[in-house]
């Protein structure tokens, strides 16, 4: 019984395949039309002249990286990171514990903790420079503002929970 069913399924599959091939003569075509191979049949494409983006050398968002605003933001970033370091170190000395899991690795050593906060400041300046080079001048400023906000919140928390 199993072999007759298998034979019927195979026969049905072949019948469907032959029916599809018979109804689709394009499936049996083996040659390409020679008219398509003639050079006159292919029209040349018109060349499109690339357009240049409209930028002026003195665009309003274009500025030097170490301008007055960035210098002030970086100084504030360094000042708040220093305040965060001092408040964190004082809390750790008086028996508190570091809540930031990234900084917790450096909490056992004062020089390591200082390098962590210096690295945070350097990372903020580096990320701002990256955004400056990529032309994202608003993100360049926001990076420092976010760092200042985070350090200010940490200092406030540390001073409140002495």
What is the per-residue pLDDT for 161?
84
d(CA 62, CA 60): 6
d(CA 62, CA 137): 8
User: What is the average per-residue pLDDT within 16-35?
Assistant: 65
What's 38's DSSP letter?
S
State percent of the chain over pLDDT 70: 65
User: What is the average per-residue pLDDT within 117-138?
Assistant: 95
Token pair belonging to 90: 């004082």
d(CA 117, CA 125): 13
DSSP, residue by residue, 55-79: --TT-TT---TT-HHHHHHHHHHHH
What is the per-residue pLDDT for 61?
61
Name 84's Cβ contacts closer than 8 Å, sequence gap at least 6.
117, 151, 154, 155, 158
- In the chain, where are the structural domains located? 68-160
Asked if the model's pLDDT at residue 131 lies above 70, the reply is yes
d(CA 121, CA 30): 70
Going by C-alpha positions, the residue among 54, 72, 48, 53 that lies closest to residue 145 is 72
Asked if the model's pLDDT at residue 54 lies above 60, the reply is no
Q: Which long-range contacts (CB under 8 A, 24 or more apart) does 23-31 make?
A: none
Regarding pTM above 0.85, the answer is no
Name 92's Cβ contacts closer than 8 Å, sequence gap at least 6.
98, 107, 113
Asked if the model's pLDDT at residue 16 lies above 70, the reply is yes
Determine how many CB atoms are found less than 10 A away from the CB of residue 88.
24
State percent of the chain over pLDDT 90: 52
């Amino acid at each position: 019984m199993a072999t007759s069913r298998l034979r019927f399924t195979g026969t049905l599959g072949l019948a469907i395949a032959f029916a599809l091939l018979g109804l689709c003569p394009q499936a049996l075509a083996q040659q390409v039309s020679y008219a398509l191979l003639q050079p006159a049949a292919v029209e040349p494409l018109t060349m499109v002249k690339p357009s240049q983006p409209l930028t002026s050398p003195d665009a309003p968002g274009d500025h030097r990286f170490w301008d007055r605003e960035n210098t002030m933001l970086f100084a504030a970033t360094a000042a708040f990171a220093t305040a965060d370091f001092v408040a964190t170190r004082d809390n750790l000395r008086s028996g508190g514990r570091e809540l930031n899991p990234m900084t917790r690795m450096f909490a056992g050593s004062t020089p390591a903790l200082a390098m962590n906060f210096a690295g945070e400041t350097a990372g903020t300046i580096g990320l701002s420079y990256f955004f400056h080079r990529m032309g994202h001048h608003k993100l360049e400023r926001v990076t420092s503002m976010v760092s200042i906000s985070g350090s200010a919140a940490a200092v406030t928390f540390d001073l409140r929970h002495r």
